[in-house]
Amino acid sequence: MAKKVRAIIISGNGVNCEQEMALACRRGGADVVDIVHIGELLAGRAQLEDYHFLNFPGGFLDGDDLGSAKAGANRILHAAVRDREGRLAEQVQAFIADKKLIIGVCNGFQLMVKMGLLPALEGRYGDQSVTLTFNDCGRFEDRWTSLKVDPASPCVYTRGLENLYFPVRHGEGKFVVRSSEVLDQLEEKHLAVLKYTDPDFQAPTMEYPFNPNGSVGAVAGICDESGRLFGLMPHPEAYLYRTHHPRWTREPDLGEEGMGVGIFRNAVEYIRSTLL
């Protein structure tokens, strides 16, 4: 009997996109999709080792106190797992060492960068070299964005994809780097997977509102050097069916499947071919 692809979606403490993320995993072909409250992991009643695909959904972790996802990152990094030796962070590190997949969307992306899981240059997981901060416009942005995929990126999730159209919903989505050297490495290693572009997908742009937050280098999503860890501010799980598209009644050639499904299908197919 073929082994099953098992996906876990972390919920709790302000996460609010777990159901959409679970549907995206199912649409992508995952066999088992469990929504698990972070408290279940900390209580030792669930373990990451039982899964292949870890999903950090969007939301407002801890009300964005201390900055978006910072309190959530501290919880994972420092909280002990009840009745077990070690912290939850050690389960995350073991998950990475086992060459499994992790994706973070919006608040989940903020969480990953503040845990130092992305970009983890030269394999330095835990070293935070980038962050996400307040939008240049000074307000919450809720709009659809055009995105260009770097075809040379090692990112598992974007293989075979080129131009994407996803919504953003955030107040702290501006991607910034610790130094110009970090940005140079992201470009040289093709880790800046997604960039905001003009509506015709012609070129990365810093122009508002096409770049909705002022992200440096127009960066909308990054991966680590293995391509197995991926974070992005736009929401692929918000475009799973043609009826999710804002102009679905006016664009008859959309097809029945939304663009976001491809992100999750790529992840599932990678797991089937590599981990099972």
Q: Record the tokens describing residue 75, joined without a space.
A: 């919880």
Q: What angle do CA 195, 198, 204 make, to 5 degrees?
A: 35
Give dist(CA 48, CA 168) in Å, integer. 28
User: Are the CB atoms for 175 and 216 separated by under 8 Å?
Assistant: yes
Give dist(CA 178, CA 249) in Å, integer. 44
Given the residues 18, 141, 172, 237, the one annotated as active site: 237
Given the residues 20, 25, 170, 235, the one annotated as active site: 235
Decide if 17 is catalytic. no
Given the residues 18, 25, 52, 106, the one annotated as active site: 106
Decide if 237 is catalytic. yes
Q: Would you list the DSSP string of 13-67?
A: TTB--HHHHHHHHHHTT-SEEEEEEHHHHHTTSS-GGG-SEEEE--B-GGGGTTS
Report strand pairing: 194-196 vs 219-223: antiparallel
Decide if 106 is catalytic. yes
SS3 at position 69 = coil
- Residues designated as active site: 106, 235, 237
